[in-house]
Chains A and B, each alone.
Chain A
Amino acid sequence: MIELKQLSKKFGDRWALRSLDLTVSHGEIFGLLGHNGAGKSTAIGMMLGQVWPTAGEAIICGHDVAENRPRALHKVGAIFETPVFYDYLSGWRNLEILSQYTAPTAPARMREVLEWVGLTGREMAKVKTYSHGMRTRLALAQALLPNPELLILDEPSDGLDPEGIHEMRETILRLRHELGLTILLSSHLLNEVEQLCTRIAVLNQGVKVFDGTLEQIRQSRLGWVRLNVGDFTAAVADLCAQQLVTDARDGSHVVLAPGVRTDALVRRLVEQGMPLFEIVHEEQTLEGFYLDLMKKKEEPVVPVQG
C-alpha cells in the first residue's frame, strides 16, 4: 500500500528526512515513531502530496504521489494531530464539503459513517460546539467517507484525555478488524503503538534507525536476566568463569550463555553462598528499546531491516 524509496526532504539547509525506505503491506497497522521534529509529519506530508520531496519517491496504492496525486490518494483517508474544521458550519456540512473533494457522497453513506463513529444526533450542530473527542470522531468520519483502503493517522490521540485515547485505540482496532483497512499510525505514545501495531519504523533526526516487527524488539533482549544479588560484581565474575553468562550491564543485568537456564544460575549462586534476592527473565519493552535507540543519537546507527 505504501512504498517509500529513498525519500528525502530538505528545508533550507536542514534535512528533515533523509533517504527513507519504507514498505507498508495491505492489512498492516504500521507505527511510525520518533521524537518531535524527527520527520514523521514531513514523511506523511510527502505521502499525501502536501510536501514536495527533495529526492526519492512516495508510491501510494501503486501510484507515484508526485506524478499522479489524484489516483494515488483516491482510496486514502487521513487524520491530523489537531482536527480542524469549518467551526461555523455543522458537522454534516463539513462532511459534505470535504467528501466532495474526493467524490460525490450519498447522504446514506454519510449517515452510515456518522453512526460508525458515534456522532449520530449531533451532526447538525455547529462544529464549534463539539468537544475535542467529537472533533476527532468527525475527523475519522471524513477520513472514512471515501471508503478508503489506507488510513494515515498523524498523532490521532494528541490532546485527547485518557478515555479518549482508549476510545481511539479501540476504534483503530475496529477499523482493521471490521473494515480491513491498512493503517499508518504516527505517534509518540509508545504504549499506544505497542498495543496496536504489528510493525514499526523509528525515525531519529530525519533518519530511519529501526524498521521491524514488535516481536523482533521483544526478542532483541532475549536471554537478558535481571539479577539482584548481594555482590553483583563478584557474582558476575564467578558466573562468567563457569561460562553460565556471557555479558553483564548496568550492575543488574546479565546475558545467559547459550543453552543455560536461570535455574543453573540460582544453583551456582546458592552453592557459592551468595545471597540471591531476585532473578527475572527480562523482555524488551518498546519504551526501553526506543529510549536505547534515542540514546544512540550521536552514534552512527546501523538500520535493522524487518
Chain B
Amino acid sequence: MELIKHLLFSVYFHQEMIYIVILMIFLGIEVIGRVPSVLHTPLMSGANAIHGVVIIGAIIVMGSAESDNYVALILGFLAVILGTLNVVGGFVVTDRMLEMFKKKK
C-alpha cells in the first residue's frame, strides 16, 4: 500500500515527464516511419549517437560527487569516458557513412 502510494505520487509528481514520454514515443515512430531502407544503417548509427545523451547523467554524477567519495569519482569518470565514446564515436561513424552517400552525385 505504501509502495502504491509512493508510485502514484511519482506519477503525479512526474506528470510532465510522462506526457513527454508518450508524445516522444509517437514522434519517434512517425519520424522513423518514412525512412527509406537505404538509410537504415546510418539512421541506426545516428540514433545510437543520440542516446549517448546519457552522458549528461554521467556529467551530473561526476560533478556532484563529494571529493572524498572515491567510488562515485571513479565510476563517474568511467561513465563520462564511456558516454563520450558513445556520442563522439556515434556521430563520427554516422558522418563517415553519410559522406559516402553524398559522393555519388
Q: Verify that A and B bind, or say they do not.
A: no
Interface residues, chain B, CB within 8 Å of chain A?
none
A interface residues with partner B (beta carbon < 8 Å): none
